[in-house]
Amino acid sequence: MMTRLLVGLTVQTAVLTALIILPAWAFTGRWSWERGWLTVGMFFLTSAIGGLWLVTTDPGLVRERASILRPQTRADGLATLLIMVAVVGWFFAIGADTHRLHVLRPLPPWVSLGAGLGVFLIGLAIILWTFRVNSFAAQVVKVQRKQRVIDTGPYAFVRHPMYCGGIVFLAGIAVVLESSAAAVVALPFFVMAFWPRIMIEEATLRRELLGYAEYQSRVRARVVPGIF
């Protein structure tokens, strides 16, 4: 289990490093971006702590999320691909804004670092909270044997707290990387990117999971309470 966790963490950190550092290098010709490497280190440390906590509380979930799973349908695969393209494009836009465009006036360094770290940790906490209350939070759209509707924890407020936490997490990274513009557009941008996947998930759950339609009628918000 620890090997799976270490491999998964290494791969995730390597991907994030490429997403942050490669655009910076493309715009500046330098690899030495202090905020970029700080963000990578921050991600590795917090993810390692969160991963160790999940290993002790729900090792089955860690085992499944560390596995490479194929999308269940072509539509699911395309929706997942859209999310991946959106994430890559968003990080490239951060690099362009931070190093070239400066669309919005940057926050003072200590403000961007403190506020960004705070938002980042809130997003990570929402994701970990989601994992803690829902052992069925898999990477692919499927209904497993003995699965039931989860309506406690963050699911009492939104139907897709994983996406909510992901958006907050990414917005926090944008603030740390001193791109206020990316942080501002994170919510509408990623809601649109997640929309097809959300529709597929909800159609599957409504069709195959007993009680999900009633849960939808009780919890109206998909990602952000009172907004969407």
Assign residue 125 the CATH number of its domain. Answer: 1.20.120.1630
Answer whether residue 223 is part of any domain.
no
The mean per-residue pLDDT over the stretch 127-147 comes to 76
Q: Are 37 and 25 in contact (CB under 8 A)?
A: no
The per-residue pLDDT for 217 is: 95
Residues 67-99 pLDDT 10s: 555 666 888 899 999 999 999 999 999 999 999
Q: Name residues whose C-beta falls within 8 Å of residue 224's C-beta, 6 or more positions apart in sequence.
A: 158, 164, 187, 191
What integer best gives the mean pLDDT of the chain? 90
pLDDT in tens, 170-223: 999 999 999 999 999 999 999 999 999 999 999 999 999 999 999 999 999 999
Give the angle subtended at the CA of 43 by the CAs of 40 and 151, to the nearest 5°. Answer: 150
pLDDT for residue 58: 75
Q: At what angle do helices 74-96 and 2-28 cross, to 10 degrees?
A: 50
Nearest to 124 by CA among 158, 84, 87, 173: 173
pLDDT, tens only, 145-178: 667 899 999 999 999 999 999 999 999 999 999 9
Taking the C-alpha atoms of residue 209 and residue 197, their distance in angstroms, rounded to an integer, is 17
Query: Whole-angstrom Cα distance, residue 179 to residue 58?
Result: 36
The total of structural domains in the chain comes to 1
For residue 181, being part of any structural domain is answered with yes
Picking from 193, 179, 203, 204, the residue whose alpha carbon sits closest to that of residue 228 is 193
Q: Which domain holds residue 54?
A: 2-218
Q: What is the pLDDT of residue 110?
A: 95
- Taking the C-alpha atoms of residue 125 and residue 193, their distance in angstroms, rounded to an integer, is 22
Over 90: is that where the pLDDT of 53 sits? no
Pairwise CA distance, residues 203 & 19, whole Å: 32
Judge whether 225 lies within some domain.
no
